[in-house]
Structure 1
Amino acid sequence: MTDSDSEEVDPTARDQREIGREMVEQSTGLGSVMAHAYRGEMDEATTWRQRLDQATTWAVTVIAAILTWAFSSGENPHYILLVGVVVVTLFLGIEARRYRHYDVYRSRIRMLQQNLFANALDPSGGVEHPNWRVELSNDYRTPTLKVTFGEALANRLRRIYLALLGVLLAAWLFRITAFSPRQEWLATAAIATVPGVVVVGVVTTFSAAVLGLAFWPRERHAKGEFREGDPAAWKEEENDDG
């Protein structure tokens, strides 16, 4: 394109500003555009899902290594298990942040599934969100996170990290009791100059906070993928004689 050609293009003109509308109406059609959009959203969701799995894999690896070392010898300090709790909690924070980004693309996918594909298969059911095209358009124009950090933490705790942290805390409790039968367990729980009663108090407070965060009633904003129901009810075969 020459300089003279460039000068003839007015990027503020309507036909230039709304080139997306021209592509839909005159070229590929809205259905084709939505198909490509859906494929792109699926790719983004898959990428973020893999990042979630990576954080979980590293957390499990750290737990396995710490448990192996902590119980390999009675001389090894018990607080290495508490260090593991701190590390796994950091992984929890990382995964919660990634979950918030993953949920953005999952929410868009569910929006398309509920209101476009489901309606295409059975128009009699209508759409789940009458204003879905405007909502999706606004989100494309101004992408926003859909869930709070607290809800993301609670989700990952209930799904994975509550069990992982429970394993470490149970192992720590077992380590300070069964491995030192001749000593009073509160004394065994001490770390350097920090009394055992203080350490136990901190661990107890942390455990209560984690349970409270995981199960505290809150309004749910994340779009769920599945709902409880009869697993066989989705495909009725009453008229199938075979």
Structure 2
Amino acid sequence: MTQDSPDQRTQQAETDRETAVDPMVGEGLLDEEMGPSSSMAHLYRGEIHRMKFWRERLDRTTNWAVVVISALLTWSFSSPDTPHYVILIGIATLTVFLVVEARRYRGYDIWRTRARSLQQNVFAKGLDPDIELTNRDWRSELAEDYRRPTLKITTEEAIAHRLRRIYLPLFGLLLVAWAVRITAFATDSWLATARVGAVPGSTVALFVAVFYAGALFVAFRPRTWHARGELRFEDLRK
């Protein structure tokens, strides 16, 4: 029977240590009795950092949307010969930005939800111990979210948020610009001016009306909001 050399035994011990699973790892690290411990502070700081990073991504999308729309409006009113459908192209472009920003907003909401959970259940409770926790299962829910991160809101809710905050005014500006473009610079009736190629003006106007009606419906229809931390209600804005 051969005996392992010291180097082999050392290597085997290191391998055993690397592959061993300690079931007690992390236990007590974030106990309620510890309050906002250093580990909790680092966890919170990390969530705030990721939330800030995704917030900046949202802002970059909005900035590009404003820049592109400004350029298209400037071009459309630079000459009477510029076709009015340039503004319709702007509406389509803004819709693309809206969809992209809604996807980023869903990612941003993951980190904001975690940060809000820590603020409500750890730091608020630490500042005022008399506060009653509204959700006593927040620790298990947060732990499960760290194990399996999931999106908290639907694409439709994310679109509604961005429409209310940013994109409805931009869409409204484009609608007014388009209406002015097909009336103020028109020699025929506005329906005739609204024609795009072989598409009659009435069809174009109907499409625009349906699009804006759909945007208003998505933005303001009654729903249960799942995004946390939004200042949607007047009493929170005082």
Same fold (TM over 0.5): yes
- Between the two proteins, the alignment pairs up a number of residues equal to 227
Aligned to 1:169: 175
* Secondary structure in 1 matching 2:198: coil
Are residues 1:53 and 2:51 paired?
no
Partners of 2:36 and 2:122 within 8 A in 1: no
Amino acid at match of 1:222: A
One of 101, 105, 124 as aligned partner of 1:118? 124
Are residues 1:150 and 2:156 paired?
yes
Q: How does the TM-score come out when normalised to structure 2?
A: 0.89
Are residues 1:133 and 2:139 paired?
yes
One of 202, 206, 209 as aligned partner of 2:214? 209
Are residues 1:7 and 2:15 paired?
yes
Q: Which runs of 5+ in 1 are unaligned?
A: 233-242
Aligned to 1:237: none
Partners of 1:114 and 1:128 within 8 A in 2: no
Partners of 2:47 and 2:111 within 8 A in 1: yes
Deviations 1:184-220 (A, max 9, x none): 1101000111111111111111111111111111111
Aligned to 2:201: 196
Across the aligned residues of Structure 1 and Structure 2, the Cα RMSD in angstroms comes to 2.2
Deviation at 1:128, TM superposition (A): 2.7
Query: Equivalents in 2 of 1:59, 1:112: separation in Å?
Result: 33
Partners of 1:51 and 1:98 within 8 A in 2: yes
CA 1:37/1:221 → structure 2, altered by over 3 Å: closer, same or farther? same
Query: Equivalents in 2 of 1:37, 1:134: separation in Å?
Result: 16
Deviations 1:9-54 (A, max 9, x none): 27354x2x442227668xx997221110000000000000000000
Q: Which runs of 5+ in 2 are unaligned?
A: 1-6
Query: Equivalents in 2 of 1:189, 1:130: separation in Å?
Result: 59
Once the two structures are superposed, the pairs formed by residues 219-230 of structure 1 within 5 Å of their partners are: 219-226=224-231, 228-229=234-235
